[in-house]
Amino acid sequence: MASAASGDTVTFDLGDSAFEGYNIDVPSTSVTMGREEALGMYRAMQEVRRLEMAADSSYKHKLIRGFCHLCTGQEAVPVGVERALTAEDAVITAYRCHGFTYMRGASAMGILAELMGRGAGVSKGKGGSMHMYAPNFYGGNGIVGAQVPLGAGIAFAQKYNGANACTVALYGDGAANQGQVFESYNMAKLWDLPVLFVCENNKYGMGTAASRAAANTDYYTRGQYIPGIRVNGMDVLAVRQAIAYGREYAISGKGPLVLEMKTYRYGGHSMSDPGTTYRTREEIQHMRSTSDPIMGYKHRLLENGVATEDDLKQIDKQAKKFIDEELAKAKAAPEPKSAELWDDVYVKGSGVPYLRGRVPEETHYY
Amino acid sequence: MSLALKALFKQPLAARVATRTPRALVSAVRYNSTATGETITVREALNQAIEEEMERDETVWLLGEEVAQYNGAYKVSKGLLDKFGPKRVVDTPITEMGFAGLAVGAAFHGTKPICEFMTFNFAMQAIDQIINSGAKTHYMSGAFAKCPIVFRGPNGAAAGVAAQHSQDYASWYGQIPGLKVVSPYDAEDAKGLMKAAIRDPNPVVVLENELMYGVSFPSTSEIASKDFVAPLGKAKIAREGTDITIATYSRPVGFALEAAELLAKEGISAEVINLRSIRPLDLDAIIKSIKKTNHLMTVEQGFPQFGMGSEISAQIMESEAFDYLDAPVCRVTGADVPMPYAQNLEALALPDTEVIYKQAKRVLNIE
């Protein structure tokens, strides 16, 4: 991976195994960017990692209830996706959404507060882990696969309104077998919608290995008549490069692409799943030590002279401190007021006269 | 019973509604409206409403099976493709879950889709998108995402289409906080409610009725006005009365009005409430009527359990109207069987004018 950092830019060589194409040429494996931007991606991944670790520990301390799906190990995907997009592009994913919510501009405090059900949460405490939103980020969706037609629809609106933008609609290897995903492929291709269908293949749909759920595990080929690219999803630069390439394709009016990010989660499916009954500890350890996205990128930055060991250690410390501070703020935030139970059932100003409570005497009049 | 009305009963169901509306069906109460002397069908009213709103607001667009080149399976969208072009009138593949989800996503991101289901039976395939993605998102997102979408199409029984094509979904959608649900009866309802639904920033389900599409009603100055919008959540008194309240929605409003005519000949004065809105329900209108009549009968064509009548009964019991009732609330509903095909069996599965008329007398304890 020889390259040089000269002045303010650096060029990376991603290597031949970064991409595989299906009916399309793969993107260039040579990536050039500013030094600041390169470092910024390291910081971002570290912050996402720390954010998820804070969520993990808060859940174990019973500050977070219900479902909590962490993306620890998959950080390269939310960071790489965001760094290839503009603010006008849109993103939508399923419930493993904290990293995307953060990268799309929500505050870490807002995300942690939402997890803890506080009024200062990004969804005012009304959504929880699976229903987080940010500018041009449509969640955070709890029903497996439902986000894919929604993503096609967002792209439809972008095209309808003449926006120079695309939508990235993510789904997992488990969701990839859903019928509505294929219905979305069909309409997107038929109408040349500027949508990138991105399969985050972390090898397991909850406890079911991909090969036990899919007759064809080459998810980047599942679009059949839609070209596809398989990407090393543990390499943040490869993710970024593939999304940038896809974005240009989609926005130029050529229609959708299917991208498969090969990635891995260290944790279980959610906080209720130890993640070790359907895979070995050795496998998890192996992935951590050989394919960790943050470590891998760190080596890249060091080798290419973008930063020193100390620079990066500094960033690590700052990220930890930053998230610790955000966590403290979130812990101190109060629960929503009781009256907020009744807010936002309908759009303000266009609601209904009253809604029933648990008993007639608790009927709420607007 | 007059000879004319007797003759009406002898005609088969489908033929009856295909004819011009007898005077009985015309709303007896009008406020500030003038009949322009012309007539308009429910289909034309819906078509006009959609056309006017698409003209008024460029972000409004229509999608569904056969809505564009075929001019609509029931011709509700006739002429719209010619007028607005394929960008705004979109033929979809037969993939309800996919296109309903696509429509919801497009509503999130700055457009106002009108999503047609050829019938609401097919919308069951899309119901997760309607409810979990459409209705609940504004709340779950802390008001971040809005979903200004209209889901519309024929609902309930038609004629001879049997079990899988005849279900009434009013109570299913009516249950969901975050949705608004309306069901028009006549042309004025159709036009006013559809325009209001399209302008509403919330997801609105409009439950039409296939057998009403071809029925004509007198056109009024309201209907002719491009700004006529019927308020969602308000019922309409279709016929004033003093002895019994009959609350209903959609096609059965017509049967209730016919039954009221029959009752009137026997000196019984029935008040017919055209609910228009399933959610929010205009309970006040029903309560006000009960205070006058002391008797309530609900009429719907849907299955009896957990239906509109069940809900109104419960709400009335919990309200001050309970003290005004001289008899328990009575529900007239469809039979608790999947809709049969044979015409005689189908007729036994659905309440009609005669059933309503007889039941009203039972409620009043009159032989």
pLDDT of residue B355 exceeding 70, the answer is: yes
List chain A residues with pLDDT less than 70. 1-7
Residues with Cβ within 8 Å of B137's Cβ and at least 6 positions away in sequence, in order, are: A131, A139, B108, B145, B147, B178
Inter-chain CB proximity A90 and B140 less than 8 Å: no
Question: pLDDT band for position B29 (50/70/90)?
Answer: very low
Contact A131, A123 (CB under 8 A): yes
CB-closest option in A146, A344, A345 to B132: A146
B72 C-beta neighbours (distance < 10 Å), count? 26
The backbone torsions φ and ψ at residue A363, rounded to the nearest 5 degrees and listed phi first, read -60, 135
Question: ipTM of this model?
Answer: 0.96
What distance in Å separates the CA atoms of residue A168 and residue A85, rounded to the nearest whole number? 9
Mean pLDDT across B51-55: 98
Confidence (pLDDT) at B13 = 44
How is residue A134 annotated by DSSP?
A: B
| Orientation angle between helical segments A236-249 and A35-60, nearest 10 degrees | 110
How many interchain CB pairs under 8 A, A with B? Answer: 154
What distance in Å separates the CA atoms of residue A348 and residue B201, rounded to the nearest whole number? 9
B96 is catalytic: yes
The backbone torsions φ and ψ at residue B272, rounded to the nearest 5 degrees and listed phi first, read -105, 120
Residues with Cβ within 8 Å of A116's Cβ and at least 6 positions away in sequence, in order, are: A58, A63, A64, A330, A331, A333
Only one residue has tokens 């006017």, namely B52
Chain B residues near residue A155 by CB distance under 8 angstroms: 105
Total number of residues shown for chain A: 366
Going from the C-alpha of B246 to that of each of B187, B265, B267, B309, B324, the distances in angstroms are: 21, 17, 16, 11, 15
Chain B residue with CA closest to A92: the answer is B105
Chain B residues near residue A191 by CB distance under 8 angstroms: 90
B163 C-beta neighbours (distance < 10 Å), count? 13
Confidence (pLDDT) at B3 = 53
pLDDT digits (tens, 9 = 90+) for B286-332: 999 999 999 999 999 999 999 999 999 999 999 999 999 999 999 99
Contact A160, B106 (CB under 8 A): yes
Beginning with the edge strand found earlier in the chain, give each strand of the sheet holding A5-6 in spatial order: A5-6, A9-13, A30-34
Contacts 24+ apart (CB under 8 A), B25-31: B25/B186, B25/B217, B25/B254, B25/B257, B25/B258, B26/B217, B26/B218, B27/B186, B27/B188, B27/B236, B27/B238, B27/B239, B27/B274, B28/B238, B28/B239, B28/B240, B29/B237, B29/B238, B29/B239, B29/B240, B30/B220
How is residue B294 annotated by DSSP?
A: S
pLDDT of residue B143 exceeding 60, the answer is: yes
The backbone torsions φ and ψ at residue A30, rounded to the nearest 5 degrees and listed phi first, read -105, 120
Q: How far is A261 from chain B (nearest CA, A)?
A: 23
Mean pLDDT across B18-32: 46
Only one residue has tokens 């910024």, namely A40
Whole-structure pTM value: 0.94
pLDDT digits (tens, 9 = 90+) for B144-190: 999 999 999 999 999 999 999 999 999 999 999 999 999 999 999 99
Q: What is the DSSP string of A240-288?
A: HHHHHHHHHHIIIII--EEEEEE---SS-SSTT--S-SSS-HHHHHHHH
Contact B237, B273 (CB under 8 A): yes
Confidence (pLDDT) at B303 = 98
Structure tokens at B309: 């009548």
Chain A residue with CA closest to B279: the answer is A352
Chain B residues near residue A152 by CB distance under 8 angstroms: 98, 101-102, 105
CB-closest option in B95, B132, B141 to A133: B141
Confidence (pLDDT) at B37 = 74
Alpha helices, DSSP H, located in A9-138: 35-60, 76-84, 98-103, 108-115
In terms of DSSP bridges, do strands A364-365 and A354-355 run parallel, antiparallel, or are they unpaired? Answer: antiparallel
Amino acid at B325: L
Contact A204, A278 (CB under 8 A): yes
pLDDT digits (tens, 9 = 90+) for B242-282: 999 999 999 999 999 999 999 999 999 999 999 999 999 99
Beginning with the edge strand found earlier in the chain, give each strand of the sheet holding B330-332 in spatial order: B236-239, B270-274, B244-248, B296-299, B330-332
Q: How far is A8 from chain B (nearest CA, A)?
A: 38
Inter-chain CB proximity B95 and A187 less than 8 Å: yes
Chain B residue with CA closest to A184: the answer is B98
The single residue of B96, B188, B261, B346 carrying the catalytic annotation is B96
Q: What is the DSSP string of A287-305?
A: HHHHH-HHHHHHHHHHHTT
Inter-chain CB proximity A190 and B133 less than 8 Å: no
The burial class, CB within 10 Å (0-12 / 13-18 / 19+), for A55 is buried
- Encode burial over B324-352: b for 16+ CB neighbours within 10 A, e otherwise: beeeebbbbbbbeeebbeeeeebeebbbb
CB-closest option in A154, A160, A344 to B87: A160
The backbone torsions φ and ψ at residue B117, rounded to the nearest 5 degrees and listed phi first, read -105, 135
Q: How far is B97 from chain A (nearest CA, A)?
A: 6
